[in-house]
Structure 1
Amino acid sequence: MTTSPTSPRLVLRADGNPRIGLGHVMRLLALADILRDQFGCVFVIQEPDHVLLSQLQESCSEVVEMPPQPAGGEPAWLAHHVLRPTDILVLDGYGFEFSYQEAVRPYVAKLVCLDDLHAFPFAADVVLNPAGGISEANYDLRQPQARLLSGPKYAPLRAAFRSNSASHTIASPSSVLVCLGGADPTHQTQRVAATLLTLPVIEQVQIVVGSAYTGWESLSQWAEHEGKVTLHRNLPPTL
C-alpha cells in the first residue's frame, strides 16, 4: 500500500530482540493488523532478525530499519527521515519517556503510547493500557485533552485471537502449555517445564518459543529425552 505525502499514516515504533523480548513488537503488529485497511502502516525498528523482519513486512506497507542512535538522538532522526505532519506515531517500549515524547510530538498529527507501567508523565494524545483496574488517576497526562484507553477491551489482538468462531475446547488439566514470550531472555522455559514434569498429574507439556529465543539448541537436546514434551517454534497465530 503506497500512501501520498498528505495521507495519514500509522508509524509504529518498537524494538524486539533476545535481550528485551518481542512483546512490544507483537502488540504493534496486532495494531497494524487491526488498522491496515484504514492507514498505511510504517514500522520503525532497530536491527530485527530476518524472521521478525519478514513478519513486519507481511503486516506493514513499509519497514524502516533505523540505525543505532546516540543518546537522545532518535527523535531528530525520526523527524528527518520518517515522520510527516499528518502521521499518527505509536510508541511501545519502556525507553520512550516524557522527554522523548516531547521531542517527537511537534512532528506528527497525533502521538499514541502503549504503556503498562504508568511510571512517568506522558506527552501523548492517547495512552493505551489494556490492564484492568487502571484509571486516569494513575497517570500524569500532560497533553491537553489527552485520553486514557484502559482495560482488556482495548487490548490489541491479532485476528486469530479476536475471532468468536474459535473453538473453546476445555483442556485437560494433565496437559500444560508453557510460553514465556517470544524470547524468554532469562531462559526460564526449560526450568519451568522440568518442574512441571515432576508433578504426577502432568502427562503432556507443550512448549512454545519465538524467533528471538536463543536457547533453542539446548532446549531441543533436553526435550529429546523427555517423552512428555513437545516443542513448537515461531508458531503462526492461526495455528
Structure 2
Amino acid sequence: MSISAAPRLLFRADGNATIGLGHLVRLLALADQLRGLAPGMFLVREPTAAVAQLVTAAGWAVQALPANSLWLAEADWLAQGFLKPTDVLVLDGYSFEAAYQRRVRASGCGLVYIDDLLAWPVVADLLINHSPGVVATDYEAPADTRFLLGPAFSLLRRPFLEGAAAPQAPTPIASALVCFGGADPLGLTVRTVRALLALPNLQRLGVLLGGAFGDAAALEQLAADAPGVPITIYRNVDAGALVELLRAYDVAVVPASTVLIEALVLGRPALTGYYADNQRALATYVHAHQQAFSVGNFAELTDAALPATLHQGMQWLETTQRVPYTQQLQPGRLRAEVQRLLQRQQQ
C-alpha cells in the first residue's frame, strides 16, 4: 500500500566556531547534487547566524533542533515527533553512532550515513565514505546496506564537479593560498601564514576565511606588517569563486578535509596535513600516493619546524609529477542511489 505523505530529504549536521563547518559544507555539497529529487531541509542544533546564512544562501530551509545534550534523546524526539516513513534522513557528524541510527530508523524513514571514521557499526540503507582505500568489508552493516565508497563519490559542489581536471606538469611556486576551513579553532591560519612569509621565492599570499573564523584581527595585523609580500584576505567566497582562487594560486595550503579534495579534483598542487584524527588517514594516503605533500600534524609542528617542512613540500611539488586523486567522479550514480531510496520509501 502506497503512502500519501510527500517525501522529504532531511540533512542532519552541525557546525560552529568550535567544531568547524566541515560537516555542513560537505552536506551542502551532497544536497546540491540531490537538488530536485524532493523538498529538502537542514536540521541543525542551535544554528548560529553564520550557519543559518550559509544554509539559506544555498537555497535550503533550516530547522533548529532542541539544544538537548543527550544525543539519543534527540534521536527519540526526531523519531517520535518529526520524521515520517516517507522521509530520507542524511546524517553527517561524529555523534550519530549505531544507537542513534537505530532510534531514528524506528520512524520508518530511509537512512543515509556519511562516514569517514569507521568507528562503529552502521544500520543505514546507504553508506557514503568518499575516503580513498575504503572497502565494504571494513564495515559491520546489515546485508542490504548499499555502499558508495572512494573518491569517485566525493561530496563536492557543482563548480568542482564541472571543473575536474588532471594534474599539470610541475612548475615553480611563487604564490600560495591558505585555507583552514570555516572556523580554524586552533589558530593554524596565522601560524601557517607567518611560516610561509619566512620562505624564499613566494611573491604573494592569499588567505581564505570562513564565517566562523575568530582571529581576523591577528591575521589583518600580520598582513599589514608583511615585509614586501602582499597578503589578500578573502571571506565567505562561494563555490565558483573558490574554484577560481584555487586556480589563481600556485599551491593550496590546506588541511586534509573537503578543501583538499576540492583542490585535488581540480588538479591543483596542495600542501596538506592534519590536526584532527579524522583527517590523518586522508593526509597519509595522498602523500603515499603522490597526490599531494603532507607535513604531518600541523598542530604538533613547532614554529621553528613549520617553515622548513613547508619549504620541503614546495620543493617536492616543484619537481614531482602528481597522480590524479580519482580517475572519474560519479555524481550520477550517487544521485540515482538516493532517488532509489526515496522511491522505496513511497511504496
* Structures share fold, TM-score greater than 0.5: yes
Q: Distance in 1 between matches of 2:81 and 2:217?
A: 39
Partner of 1:228: 230
Matches within 5 A, 1:159-238: 159-164=158-163, 173-226=173-226, 227-238=229-240
Per the TM alignment, residue 237 of structure 1 is displaced from its structure 2 partner at its CA by: 1.1
**Quick one: distance in 1 between partners of 2:69 and 2:188?**
32
Q: Secondary structure at the match of 2:106?
A: helix
Rate the CA distance shift 1:162–1:124 in 2: closer, same or farther, 3 A.
Answer: same
1:10 aligns with 2:9: yes
In structure 2, distance between residues paired with 1:189 and 1:153: 30
Asked whether the 8 Å contact 2:176–2:204 carries over to 1, the reply is yes
CA distance in structure 2 between the aligned counterparts of 1:103 and 1:63, rounded to whole angstroms: 22
| Aligned-pair Cα RMSD in Å | 2.2
Q: Within 2, Cα distance between the matches of 1:165 and 1:139?
A: 30
Tell me whether 1:133 sits opposite 2:133 in the alignment: yes
Could you list the per-position Cα deviations for residues 66-114 of structure 1 after superposition, in whole angstroms to 9, with x for gaps in the alignment?
1211412101221244311111110000111111111111214311111
| Cα distance change on mapping 1:81 and 1:205 into 2, 3 Å | farther
Contact 1:88–1:108 (CA under 8 A) maintained in structure 2: no
Instruction: Give 2:231's aligned amino acid.
Output: V
Indicate conservation of the 8 Å contact 1:89/1:108, yes or no: no
Contact 1:36 1:60 in 2 (8 A): no
C-alpha distance after superposition, 1:148-202 (max 9, x if no partner): 2111111111111111489x99886111111111111111111011111111121
How far did 1:60 drift? Answer: 4.6
The residue type equivalent to 1:160 in the other structure is P
Does structure 1 retain, via aligned residues, the 8 Å contact 2:14–2:24? yes
Q: Distance in 2 between matches of 1:25 and 1:12?
A: 9
1:23 and 1:156 map into 2 onto residues whose CA distance is: 11
What does the per-residue CA deviation read over 1:177-234, in whole Å, with 9 as the maximum and x for residues that have no partner?
1111111111111101111111112111111110011111221222221243211111
Q: Is the 1:8–1:88 Cα contact (8 Å) retained in structure 2?
A: yes
Asked if the contact 1:128–1:148 (Cα under 8 Å) also holds between the matched residues in 2, the reply is yes
Q: In structure 2, do the counterparts of structure 1 residues 131 and 165 end up closer, same or farther at CA, with 3 Å as the change threshold?
A: closer
* Equivalent residues, number: 235
Gaps spanning 5+ residues in structure 2: where? 242-347
| Displacement after TM superposition at 1:33 (Å) | 1.1
Which residue of the partner structure matches residue 153 of structure 1?
Answer: 152
Unaligned runs of 5+ in 1: none
Compare 62-71 and 37-46 and name the one that shifted more: 62-71
Q: Which amino acid aligns with 1:193?
A: V
